[in-house]
Amino acid sequence: MSELINSSEKRKELLKHMITQLHKGEAPDQVRNQLVRLLGEVPYDEVVEVEQQLIAEGVPQEEILKLCDIHTDVLKGQISHTKAKTAPPGHPADVFLQENRALQWEIASCEKLYEKIEKTGENVETGKEMADIHSHFNLLMDVNKHYVRKENLLFPYLEKHEITGPPTVMWGKHDETRELMKAAIETLKESKGITAGEARTVIELVLKPATRAIEEMIYKEEQILLPMGLDTLSDEEWYEIHKQGPEIGFCLYFPKEDWQPEGLETKEEEIGESGRIPLPSGSFAVDELTALLNAMPVDITFVDKDDTVKYFSEGRERIFARTRAIVGRKVQYCHPPSSVHIVEQILDDFRSGRQDRAAFWINMAGRFIHIEYLALRSEKGDYLGTLEVSQDLTEKRKLQGDQRLLNYDSQDNGK
């Protein structure tokens, strides 16, 4: 028996046999007991090899996806990490981990609301609780950026090292999770005024499957994918992933550390031959343009033609809170559920060409705030995106007469 346990090939052969048993319908509890009794611990790289062998032998991807959740559950607590490395702050693997912590916090918040509804009387209305759950699910939709970075940055590098099994399986599970989240969001949109009894049905049939799918993927990442990536990819490859991450955006978290591998020489990429951004009427260095946009006495946010937040200014006097984690996020998920329909109407009207601007003004904490949405179009009239401009007009509304002499305002001067 000890010879079997200590032999890598025998372990993999037995692991493969057990997964095949699952495929044939053997009881997971029985297989788990066999695993605990015979193997004790399974190194994660052996799990990956077995998975790849099954794919290579012609087991359909659909079947692998069905097996994925079952055999991951069976192997929980039995996968060894003795070979796994750790990632420093700011490293792409560490960013994935930090995003997972943020996702788990949102899921835990949902679960507290589930419990509250579970204890509520059958016919009591739960509109507020379901609205709160809706808000958390809007934030959980950020998981798509997490998955897109894996699919377009991490998976290609793993495939260069001939690791194709986990990317194939995980991409399929990503798509399943996306569908579950989409169904959850659509259901939550229609959940206003439902009773606790109705809410419990929605939670069990629609919401919990979605959050459970995210949690299962977190486990797969942290137990198999990330340890494997850290053992396989070079610092140069991880650095390429690091540099391209911001283009896609981050999930509920923005890296606080700008990681750079030790001993790796890097250089700033220039924009154009002169390192300046050329425009029809002039040019800017990146630091000049950044300072200019942040000096403007307005908050601006740019949403591209696909409704994705691509930029926001970081001026001294902010009107609405923004974090860099929203970059790459769908703008619909940056607004409360109660106002999403207005945002979607504006974007549809801009995209179709029916409208070019929409203005609102509100009184907020004693301040008069003006908010305007502007459609951006190319010279040919093609829709490029939407610019949101917010401005505090409280003091300007009080102006009277003229001011023709130089008179520095101490507040405007930053004193």
The 10s digit of each residue's pLDDT in 196-206 is 999 999 999 99
Backbone φ and ψ for 349, nearest 5 degrees, come out as -65, -40
At residue 335 the predicted structure's pLDDT band, cuts being 50, 70 and 90, is confident
Q: Say how many CA atoms lie within 13 Å of 391 toward its Cβ.
A: 13
Local structure of residue 375 (DSSP, 8 states):
E
Q: Tell how strand 309-312 and strand 357-364 pair up.
A: unpaired
Find the mean pLDDT for residues 294-298.
93
The 10s digit of each residue's pLDDT in 263-291 is 776 655 555 556 788 888 888 999 999 99
CA 97 vs CA 24, 101, 188, 233: distances in Å? 35, 6, 28, 17
Task: Please give the pLDDT value at position 76.
Answer: 63
Rounded to an integer, what distance in angstroms lies between the CA atom of residue 26 and that of residue 22?
Answer: 5
At residue 122 the predicted structure's pLDDT band, cuts being 50, 70 and 90, is very high
CA angle 17, 20, 21 (to 5 degrees): 90
What letter represents residue 200's amino acid?
R
Task: Please give the pLDDT value at position 329.
Answer: 87
CA dihedral 205, 211, 215, 220 (to 10 degrees): 70
Q: Residue 80: pLDDT above 90?
A: no
Q: Residue 83: pLDDT above 70?
A: no
Instruction: Label residue 233 left, alpha or beta by phi (over 0 means left) and psi (-120 to 50 means alpha).
Output: beta
The 10s digit of each residue's pLDDT in 217-252 is 998 898 888 988 998 999 999 999 999 898 888 999
Mean pLDDT (the chain, rounded):
85
At residue 1 the predicted structure's pLDDT band, cuts being 50, 70 and 90, is very low
Which of 78-92, 94-108, 168-182 has the lowest average pLDDT? 78-92
Q: Which residue has the tokens 């589930």?
A: 114
Q: Which residue has the higher pLDDT, 288 or 35?
A: 288
Q: Which pTM value belongs to this model?
A: 0.75
